[in-house]
Structure 1
Amino acid sequence: MIPFRSKLTASFYALLSISFWGVSFVSAKAVLEKLDPYSILVFRFGLGALFLLGILLLHRARISISIGYIPHLIVLGILGIFVHQVLQATALLTITASSAGWLISFSPIFTVILSILFLHEKMNVKKAIGMLVAITGVFIVTTTRSGHSFELSMNIGFILMILSTLNWAVYSILLKKLRIPYPALVVTFYMSLTGFVLTLPFIIRNRGWESLSLLSQTEWAHLLFLAIFVSGMGYWYWGKALEVLDASKVSVFLYLEPLVTLIAAIFLLHEKFILISAIGGIIIIIGVIIVNGGLVHMLLRFFRKKSP
């Protein structure tokens, strides 16, 4: 039986990860005016790996790992960082960010299916209803953001984003199933390092470093946010959440990503607030609460015990 506080903490970590990733669309859009998508990936994971290494050194944590687990970390780095980010970067060249955000929300569906097949997690009526409610909210939020229909023509970008969501589901399942006996921080560091090494040829090909001098202070802030919070802490906290909760329960937080992106766009890009979007966001939250109903019930019971 997993303690209540551990479940609550893991849910908080997953929520933070989704918050960082939701804002990442806004930051990436700001930096894309000066840097090509692949150069951004190199800087993101290079700086992200340095950030994680700094935390490890500050905590005097052991960085050495057993040779037997190196293949596991390489596979996770290839799937979770290299393949996932390259697919998304390439897809964003032909589809809009709002369309990408909508498609990412399908990842929990793939995760649930794979969790049932490979992790022997159970699907029940409550979880299915919660997923349907959350998907409904995603439809409302994302179609409102785009201002018209889904803009999802059957082009290469659409196909690549679908593959990206499936790839992320596979990554989450593997991260849970492999049970690498090292802290999530250590695992994330080696994954980021792997992603940096694999994406390095892109910046050499595109001579991306030449564009760094063109970045303004605001654009540098966006790039550092992408590196430290999105690539570093986001992956780290996602791994910490998977250490405690089922992969299917963690993945359902991905339904909140379009909502976070919407809020960030309103405050950072000054996009217009639309009431129906807020309604869709509330529906998404209700769906997440239904799927994680056991956690919510334990939370209510906890506060009842604390009350006089």
Structure 2
Amino acid sequence: MTYYRSKLTASVYALISISFWGVSFVSTKAVVGKLDPYSLLVLRFGIGALFLLLLLLLQRTPLKVSFQYIPHLIILGILGVFVHQLLQATALLTINASSAGWLISLSPIFTVILSILFLHEKMTITKAAGMVLAIMGVLLVTTTRGGQSFQFALNIGFFLMILSTLNWAVYSVLLKSLKTPYSPLLVTFYMSLLGLVLTTPFIIRHKGWESLSLLTHTEWAHLLFLGVFVSGIAYWYWAKALEVLEASKVSMFLYLEPVSTLIAAVLLLQEKVLFISVAGGIIIIIGVIVVNGQLVPMLFSLFKKKHQ
């Protein structure tokens, strides 16, 4: 029972991360009109790093790390924070959010392949079936959110977005395989700090600070959400999920990102919701449950309670 409880807790961490990342598209859309994408990244990493530092200080966690693990943190920070966010920010300049949402579904596929090759994880019929279900659900959700998911122009944004999904798969596998004796919170803090250092030249180049006075209270709220919850908590919880679950199983939660984006768009942007989108979201959820092996235990638990 403890085994299933730890898996369920890890699944909740991954679900929270994906929920925040899904809503981030809406918050980014609300702020990007006033700030350029690269200055927005700098502020996100800065707010995220400060928030994580406060958590570490409250927990009285030592900030010192051994020299032998510094290369690990640098690699994770460059791939998971700097390169990933820079690729997506650049890609979104030439492709729409619907196209980006569909392309995100490639990341779990890359992660499964890399996990089999380097982490010796096994591909089962259950995993394959759940993945197919999730992909079908993503297609239903994304193709009804703009109708341009398959109308890609041969531009650099298309290839950069695919590269970002491959990069995220590599990051997730490395985060799982690079064993460090430090907590996910401390690792995430140094990743955010490195992201801040590497992206600072962008805000200097674009003079992004000049636009800060133009932000309204609502836009500042979106910016704080992006920093604290998206760049801080989401990355932290993703690392906590990878402590327990296989990288291929955690990556399957990425299929839920379009669902989170859809819900946020309906609630915050008053976008219309279609029945086919709801059906797609349900299919995605079933696929993720199947891949993570939670379906049978959940059904057994419900059956047991019903007959007690």
TM-score (norm 2): 0.97
Task: Determine if contact 2:99/2:148 at 8 Å carries over to the other structure.
Answer: no
1:297 aligns with 296
List per-residue Cα deviations over 1:12-34 (Å, max 9, x = no partner).
00000000000000000110000
List per-residue Cα deviations over 1:44-66 (Å, max 9, x = no partner).
00110000000011111121111
Task: Determine if contact 2:7/2:245 at 8 Å carries over to the other structure.
Answer: yes
List per-residue Cα deviations over 1:239-281 (Å, max 9, x = no partner).
0000000000000000000111011111111111111111111
1:134 aligns with 134
Distance 1:25 1:150 in 2: 19
Runs of 4+ in 1 over 3 A off after TM superposition: 299-308
Task: Determine if contact 2:39/2:202 at 8 Å carries over to the other structure.
Answer: yes
2:33 aligns with 33
Q: Give the secondary-structure state (helix, strand or coil) at the position aligned to 1:145.
A: coil
1:6 aligns with 6
List per-residue Cα deviations over 1:178-213 (Å, max 9, x = no partner).
011111000000000000000010001011011000
Deviation at 1:167, TM superposition (A): 0.1
Deviation at 1:105, TM superposition (A): 1.5
1:153 aligns with 153
Deviation at 1:147, TM superposition (A): 3.0
Superposition pairs of residues 1-308 of structure 1, within 5 angstroms: 3-148=3-148, 150-292=150-292, 294-302=293-301, 308=308
List per-residue Cα deviations over 1:71-103 (Å, max 9, x = no partner).
100000000000000000000000001111111
Q: What is the count of residue pairs matched by the alignment?
A: 307
Deviation at 1:295, TM superposition (A): 2.5
Distance 1:221 1:26 in 2: 12
Distance 1:176 1:69 in 2: 14
Specify every segment of 5 or more residues in structure 2 that has no aligned partner in the other structure, as ranges: none
Q: Give the secondary-structure state (helix, strand or coil) at the position aligned to 1:113.
A: helix
> Which range is displaced more, 57-66 or 6-15?
57-66
Task: Let me know the Cα RMSD of the aligned residues.
Answer: 1.4
Q: Give the secondary-structure state (helix, strand or coil) at the position aligned to 1:146.
A: coil
Task: Determine if contact 2:98/2:148 at 8 Å carries over to the other structure.
Answer: no
Letter in 2 for 1:115: S
Q: Once the two structures are aligned, what percentage of the paired residues are identical?
A: 72
Distance 1:94 1:220, change over 3 A: same
Deviation at 1:306, TM superposition (A): 6.0
Task: Determine if contact 1:2/1:244 at 8 Å carries over to the other structure.
Answer: no
Distance 1:187 1:13 in 2: 16
Distance 2:271 2:112 in 1: 33
Specify every segment of 5 or more residues in structure 1 that has no aligned partner in the other structure, as ranges: none
